[in-house]
């Protein structure tokens, strides 16, 4: 964190702090859905590992999208899968929990890591294990008031990313409380949605993001 050079994750989040969670996507859909998200402005996309053939979807996304879009895996529970994620082209591991073994495995494999945390104790333990971003999960339970309280003690350079129940209408209140980004699930994509559906939802989210963070995309 002492380096002035941005990591790929910092660069992606500076452009757009919205993380697309494509739970349930199939490899045959990945390119079209990924392109719709990229064209709308998204620069971070994750495929949860409880999706059909998730590593193949990650591979398809990585091959299809420009390198300024980070592709990764979500719902990562087993440290042993991290090398396979890298082989598929994954650059970030997202977790629902804060298991330090998974965090260390992700970092050892050269990936960024975004563990899920629900208390300050979990947050600081995840940071000690090497976390790059803290996923506040579930955001419905934590809310903007909790986020604001965390912001008083967690260093401002550590991104806090609420995940769970985020809609375009809720982005502003979380932004005011100190959120750095957002993980977006079924309000953005759920199985059965086509690329046009996803593009429309993505544009709504990006518009809400830019309204809440007007400086976004202008950082070097």
- Catalytic residue numbers, as ranges: 46, 135
The 10 Å Cβ neighbour count of residue 140 is 12
HSE at residue 182, side-chain half, CA atoms within 13 A, is 33
Q: Which residues pair with 74 in a beta bridge?
A: 48
HSE at residue 47, side-chain half, CA atoms within 13 A, is 28
The 10 Å Cβ neighbour count of residue 187 is 16
Q: What is the bridge-based pairing of β-strands 182-184 and 18-21?
A: parallel
- State the Cα–Cα distance between residues 9 and 113, nearest whole angstrom: 10
Cβ-contact 190, 211 below 8 angstroms: no
Give ∠ CA 124-127-132 in degrees, rounded to 5: 140
Cβ-contact 191, 29 below 8 angstroms: no
The 10 Å Cβ neighbour count of residue 17 is 24
């Amino acid at each position: 964190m002492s380096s002035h050079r941005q990591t790929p994750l910092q660069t992606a989040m500076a452009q757009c702090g919205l993380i697309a969670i494509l739970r349930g996507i199939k490899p045959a859909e990945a390119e079209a859905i990924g392109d719709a998200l990229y064209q709308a402005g998204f620069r971070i996309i994750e495929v949860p590992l409880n999706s059909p053939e998730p590593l193949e979807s990650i591979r398809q996304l990585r091959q299809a999208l420009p390198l300024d879009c980070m592709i990764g895996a979500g719902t990562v529970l087993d440290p042993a899968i991290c090398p396979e994620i890298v082989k598929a082209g994954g650059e970030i591991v997202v977790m629902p929990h804060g298991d330090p073994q998974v965090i260390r495995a992700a970092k050892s494999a050269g990936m960024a890591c975004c563990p899920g945390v629900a208390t300050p104790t979990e947050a600081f333990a995840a940071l000690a294990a090497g976390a790059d971003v803290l996923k506040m999960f579930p955001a419905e339970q934590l809310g903007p008031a909790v986020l604001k309280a965390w912001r008083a003690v967690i260093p401002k350079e550590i991104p806090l990313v609420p995940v769970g129940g985020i809609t375009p209408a809720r982005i502003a209140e979380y932004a005011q409380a100190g959120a750095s980004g957002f993980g977006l699930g079924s309000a953005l994509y759920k199985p059965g949605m086509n690329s046009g559906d996803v593009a429309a939802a993505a544009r709504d989210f990006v518009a809400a993001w830019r309204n809440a963070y007007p400086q976004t995309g202008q950082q070097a």
